[in-house]
Amino acid sequence: MGFKPSRILFFYLLFISFLFSVGAQGLDDWYDKDPQASFYRGIRPDLLKLMEKNHLEDLPERLLYDRLREGVQKKVPAQVLLNALWQDLDNFLYLRDQLRIVFGELSGKNITLEGFLTRGGIVLRSGVSRSLIPIFLDWLRNSKASLDRGMSALLTVTAVQTRFPLEDELILDMTRNLTSSQEPEERFPSLSGLFTRGRSVGLSPTEMARTTIIILGKGGTLLMVEQEFLRRSRK
């Protein structure tokens, strides 16, 4: 014997009410504890809808709250902040869906969903094309590298791209080769400094990206990339 439609509707509404109360409680705590929250009371109903959607999608709650606090600390105008948070949620959903399509479950991938979404959110906010995400994840699935290392490499190349805009193809190839390289992951962030120094001596971002791709693709290291930048600057 199944549930009657009225009973199913009752339990559904009860479930929605529970999610709504969880989101409301989190916002209540934030509005009560953060002195700057008073400047954002006008968008409170909209923030509640945002958090409710986040709960319904079963995304890590801290992601949006961290972004909310970040915006408040920077004194971003209320409506601008609200729009940015909705875009963040849309990005998180896109990233989550692409991850499920390519990898399925995350068990054994050495990265949490929250960690993946945090890094991926930064990448998309930087202006990197969404279309690169499924291409890179599909490549990563067939490589020997871990998802964690791959996302570290993508975040590193994103940091370079924010200062020295690059074509999508160069971003993708440099990320792939950095991921596959023998370079220790903790050395990845030095790539941004290499581009800064290379640019200061007249090398173009495109030339530096192509040089990096070639050297890493041949099994080289970032030290070798730096040496090649220096050699080219002396021509």
Residue 33's pLDDT band, with cuts at 50, 70 and 90, is: confident
Q: Which of 57-66, 73-82, 88-97, 106-115 has the lowest mean pLDDT?
A: 106-115
pLDDT in tens, 198-211: 999 999 999 999 99
Who has greater pLDDT, 207 or 144? 207
Q: What percent of the chain has pLDDT over 90?
A: 66
Closest CA to 40 of 84, 79, 96: 79
Q: What percent of the chain has pLDDT over 70?
A: 86
Question: What single DSSP character describes residue 57?
Answer: T
Rounded CA gap, 179 and 185, in Å? Answer: 9
* Segments making up each domain of the chain, as ranges: 44-125, 130-235
Q: Is the pTM of this model over 0.95?
A: no
